[in-house]
Chains A and B, each alone.
Chain A
Amino acid sequence: MTTTIPEQPSPQGAPKGTALLEAKGVIMRFGGLTAVRDVSLTVGSGEIVGLIGPNGAGKTTFFNCLTGLYVPTEGTVSYRGTVLPPKPHLVTQAGIARTFQNIRLFANMTVLENVLVGRHTRTREGLLSALIRGPGYHRAEARSRERAMELLAFTGLAGKAEHLARNLPYGEQRKLEIARALASEPGLLLLDEPTAGMNPQETRATEELVFAIRDQGIAVLVIEHDMRFIFNLCDRVAVLVQGEKLVEGTSDVVQSDERVIAAYLGEPFEGAPADEAEERENDR
């Protein structure tokens, strides 16, 4: 499996609208290990795209390449037609926000402060204006707080603004991560396993939240192991196996693809670890 498999030439498989994010031939090598092999992916505006694959397939590595945490060995990532610099803060400034697989909140800051940190790129007040505290500073600060409270209301956390992030229950921590990411006013939101560890109700709530985010005109790229979640949610799904994109297309196309099933059942690939998603697939 060293050759690239072309995208499925399906009419529904093409990105809707204009291309927002375009990753072309991304390769990521760590020494002798190639974690991501020549993956191309396009996300159109207003789209929800899923990225699935067995554990260790390179999904998160690919995410890190997109957001500048890793510098891809080869290939380019462009957003709205401009190639992204390999610096996380510049990527966020350009309009791509993300959440993390293992929650990375600022645990000892309040919920509101967490979201305010997310506003960092959309505000300009530096040290001097913080020291002088002119009217402009107060205006900007008030606007930030207002926007942050809106986002907390949007994610259903408004009542917990003054709690410390570390004291939130797990599901709410995930929501807060999303609210924090939305605070940077992104055009594209990358969610890394947003429902991991959630119960079915929480998963459904997250699903609705993602739809609501999309309805605000923000495209979403989501990594997830919960197949029901992915297939309900996504306009398109890409399958990553051992660092390569196996197939991309609508839910139906992906679900019926034999190679995907084979990849998840683990038969043709040595060393592909089993995971919960596999079990869920078996349940069907």
Chain B
Amino acid sequence: MTDIPITTAEAVVQARSDAHRAAPFVPLPPAAARLVTLAGVVVTVASTFMSWTYTTEFPGDLTVSGYPGGLQVLTLIGAILTGVIALGAFRVKGLAWLNPSRSNNGVLLLALGTLGTTWYTVIDIAAKLGGMANLDPGGFVAAIGSLLLFAGALALPIDRHPVEPADAEYFELGRLSGNGPTVGAYRWLREARLNHSDLPVGDARRLNPWLQRLAVVVVYAVGVKIFTYGVATNYSDIFIGYLIVVSFGFLGLGATGLLRQFRQITQHNRRFSTAIGVLAAVAYPFAQNNEHWANLGVSILIVGTVALGLNIVVGLTGLLDLGYVAFLGVGAYTAALVSGSQFSIWSGTQFPFWAAALAGMVVACIFGVLIGAPTLRLRGDYLAIVTLGFGEIFRIVVRNLDGVSGPKVTNGPNGIAQIPDVSIFGYNLGDQHSFGSFTLGRFANYYLLMLVITLIVVLVFTRAADSRIGRSWIAIREDEIAATAMGINGFRVKLVAFALGASLAGLAGTVFAHVTNSVVPDPYVFSGSVPPNSAFLLAAVVLGGMGTVSGPILGAALLYLIPAKLDFLARYELLAFGLALILIMRFRPEGIIPNRRRQLEFHEDAATASDQPGTPGDDTVPVGAAGA
């Protein structure tokens, strides 16, 4: 991948404007800074081959010398990644392509991730096992090595945010008013902000097409591996280390420009990368043979798909729907009623799955229209409150249709249990099936079924978003008055969005009912500690990125996995939830995967820099169908 033309690289150097600031945090001669960084890498890597603690009580067994285990692996990966990116930043021959933006920011962020996970491990050992005495020399070496690495990275020239004129004025005022220390601290924080979004990177689309495809395959394979690793962690300690490494790895690779180049490639080879993305998602249940992980996969796909449906309503059309989970419930209950369960009032009727799915969609769509028709005349906060109300009404009505308080339809709080497994063409999804050396269990089967549904929803989302109706949704979101003045029947278009969103949730609900074997009214609340609930879905959309395909799926995956893996969070889940949302609103309001439009909306200063012509159709409908 070294054959990015020289001319591009030169243009990159020249394109760095004078306005750009790059300064180290720690003053050191450049050569010394590089040396310290690399020394830190070497020491940290070496430490992972030592024993960190005496006892095997700490999760992951860190007692073995000779090969890394548990959290040591994460430190090792972090350190190697940092080292490689650092070599790229130092323009070492043959490795320069690893750091296309030529920025040291990636090194700093990765070093911070390595430091974080290493120190977390060391402190965790000391805290869990009762004191520093439990640390082997290896633990100290690791702590010192990662600190050295971080210190070295701090001494490298770091690309900073340009100083804003308003800031300068404020600092001057602060100095004059005698609030020196406060303003000084604020000033340090403002000037410490990293900025690498406007650094030019070479055009990856000029690479050899086969190399591009290879890159796509490798990245998706690594993606599946990373995802599977996260799902497979069986201790919350390891999962925290994993989270630290993955998030700083993501930020660090973003700073190197590699992610931008990868996006160029996936857009350039859209069909190919979509196909590989689907393949990667299909490979997930085959890559491991663990029903628990497959169950996590199904749950993530279900909430991700529902979040994607909500994204049509919230992300594209701009209608805040706080009762969306009710449509999932409508789909689930419809499927349960026609499933042939003995608790259903129609226990004799058993629809084939396709008919049940269709029924779930249609009934959810009808409910969408029924609820949408009166409420969509309201705007903004009023709509949000009314949808919140309807969401609760659904749950309470379902609770009461038990034959005592109301007609017997849903069996009240007991719900409809013993929903039989889906059977498609004689393939019973409830049974274990073997294909050569692969075995697919019940949840793996449902995972594959749900994947098909997710792909359908992704297809519906992308096609609808990029069409006359999708444009009118976005127009309504942007300016409803102007949209109606352009001839858009606002109410009708919003109703279509609402009904479509409802039917997609209903579709996912039909699978949800079968996977969980039973439907009860309780999960369909506005906010609760167990997904799916409306607040969870909304958070997934906002966290992942409004208006994108992969955003809500990724958001749902994170919001589902994190509480599932960190059992100690259980009591504080809602608190953590709120905190995460506040942080994301403060630091990345466009979500993890930004829609190009949204990003420009929230970061106006970067607007002109990144909106060069010639990059049309950016991330509004991105590839990479599955979040894997």
> A residues near B, CB below 8 A?
67, 69, 87-89, 92-93, 97-98, 100, 104-110, 113, 116-121, 123, 125-127, 130-131, 133, 137, 140-141, 144, 160, 162-164, 166-167, 180-181, 184
Cα(A88)–Cα(B616), bound, Å: 32
CA distance A98 to B597 in the complex (A): 25
**Which residues B461-511 have CB closer than 8 A to chain A?**
463-464, 467-472, 474-475, 478-479, 481-490, 496, 500
Chain B stretch 496-547: residues in CB contact (< 8 A) with chain A: 496, 500
- B386 close to A (CB within 8 Å): no
Whether, in the assembled complex, B431 has its beta carbon less than 8 Å from a beta carbon of chain A, the answer is no
Complex: how many Å from CA A127 to CA B500? 9
Q: A251 CB to closest chain B CB, in angstroms?
A: 29
| Nearest A-chain residue to B608, judged by Cβ | A167
Complex CA–CA separation, A140 to B614 (angstroms): 24
Q: What are some 14 contacts across the A-B interface (CB < 8 A)?
A: A92-B487, A105-B479, A106-B483, A107-B479, A107-B601, A117-B483, A118-B486, A121-B486, A130-B463, A130-B464, A141-B468, A144-B468, A164-B611, A184-B487
Report which of B460, B467, B489 forms a contact with A89, defined as CB distance below 8 A.
Answer: B489
Residues from chain A with a CB closer than 8 A to the CB of B485 are 67, 69, 88-89, 92, 97-98, 100, 104
Check A100 against B469 for contact (C-beta < 8 Å).
Answer: no
Q: Which residue of A lies closest to B601 (CB)?
A: A108
Across-interface contacts of B486 in A (CB, < 8 A):
89, 92, 97, 117-118, 120-121, 180-181, 184
Starting from the known contacts A89-B485, A126-B468, A130-B469, 7 additional A-B residue pairs (CB-CB under 8 Å) come to: A89-B487, A89-B490, A131-B460, A140-B468, A164-B597, A167-B607, A167-B608
Chain B 143-175 residues near chain A, CB threshold 8 A: none
CB pair A163 B613 closer than 8 Å: yes
Tell me which of B460, B471, B487 has the highest count of chain A C-beta atoms within 10 A of its own C-beta.
Answer: B487
Contacts of B607 in A (CB 8 A): 164, 166-167
In the complex, chain A residues whose CB is within 8 Å of the CB of B460:
131
**Which residues of B approach A to under 8 Å, CB–CB?**
459-460, 463-464, 467-472, 474-475, 478-479, 481-490, 496, 500, 597-598, 600-601, 607-608, 611, 613-616
CB of A121 within 8 A of CB of B611, answer: no
CB atoms of A108 and B467 under 8 A apart: no
Instruction: State the Cβ distance, A188 to closest chain B Cβ, in Å.
Output: 14
* CB < 8 Å A-B pair total: 123
Chain B residues, Cβ within 8 Å of A118 = 486-487
Q: Which 3 pairs show the lowest CB-CB distances between chains A and B?
A: A121-B487, A130-B467, A92-B487
Docked pose: A234 CA to B484 CA in angstroms:
28
Known A106-B482, A121-B487, A130-B469; contact A164-B600, beta-carbon cutoff 8 A: yes
CB distance from A174 to the nearest CB of B (A): 14
B-side binding surface: helix, strand, loop or mixed? helix
Q: How far is the CA of A100 from the CA of B486 in the complex (A)?
A: 11
Contact B496 A127, beta carbon cutoff 8 Å: yes
Interchain nearest-CB distance for B547 vs A (Å): 10
With A and B bound together, what is the CA distance between A114 and B177 in angstroms? 49
Q: Are A131 and B463 touching (Cβ within 8 A)?
A: yes
How far is A110 from B617 in the complex, measured between Cα atoms in Å? 9
Known contacts A109-B478, A163-B611; A89 and B488 CB within 8 A of each other = yes
- Cβ contact within 8 Å between B616 and A126: no
Residues of B within 8 A of A105 (CB): 479, 482
Cα(A97)–Cα(B484), bound, Å:
11
Among B463, B468, B500, B616, the residue within 8 A (CB) of A123 is B468
What CA separation (Å) do A133 and B483 show in the bound complex? 24
For the complex, give the distance between the alpha carbons of A184 and B484 in Å. Answer: 12
Contacts of B601 in A (CB 8 A): 107-108, 166
Q: Provide the residues of chain B in CB contact with A180, threshold 8 Å.
A: 486
Residues of A within 8 A of B484 (CB): 69, 87-89
> In the bound complex, do residue A104 and residue B479 qualify as a contact, i.e. CB atoms below 8 Å apart?
yes
Please measure, in the bound complex, the distance between the C-alpha atom of A113 and the C-alpha atom of B621, giving whole angstroms: 15
B480 to chain A, nearest CB (A): 10
Q: Is B463 a contact partner of A133 (Cβ separation < 8 A)?
A: yes
CB distance from A59 to the nearest CB of B (A): 17
Q: Are B472 and A117 in contact (CB under 8 A)?
A: yes
Contacts of B470 in A (CB 8 A): 130
Quote the shortest CB–CB distance from A167 to chain B (angstroms): 6
**Bound complex: CA A184 to CA B483 (Å):** 12
Assess whether B490 is in contact with A116, with CB atoms less than 8 Å apart.
no
Contact of B613 among A106, A116, A162 (CB under 8 A): A162
B464 / chain A contacts, CB cutoff of 8 Å: 127, 130-131
Q: Let me know if A125 and B468 touch, CB within 8 A.
A: yes
Evaluate contact between A120 and B598: CB separation under 8 angstroms.
Answer: no
Bound state CA distance, A87 and B472, in angstroms? 17
Q: Shortest beta-carbon distance, A267 to chain B, in Å?
A: 36
The closest CB in chain B to the CB of A181 belongs to B486
A104 touches B481 (CB 8 A): yes
Q: Within the assembled complex, what's the spacing in Å between the Cα atoms of A180 and B479?
A: 14
For A104, give its contact among B482, B597, B614 (CB under 8 Å).
B482
Cα-based distance from A283 to B262 in the complex (angstroms):
61
Is A127 a contact of B469 with CB atoms below 8 Å? yes
- B481 touches which of A69, A97, A117, A130 (Cβ 8 Å): A69
Flag if A162 contacts B487 (CB, 8 Å): no
Q: Is the CB of A93 within 8 A of B471?
A: no
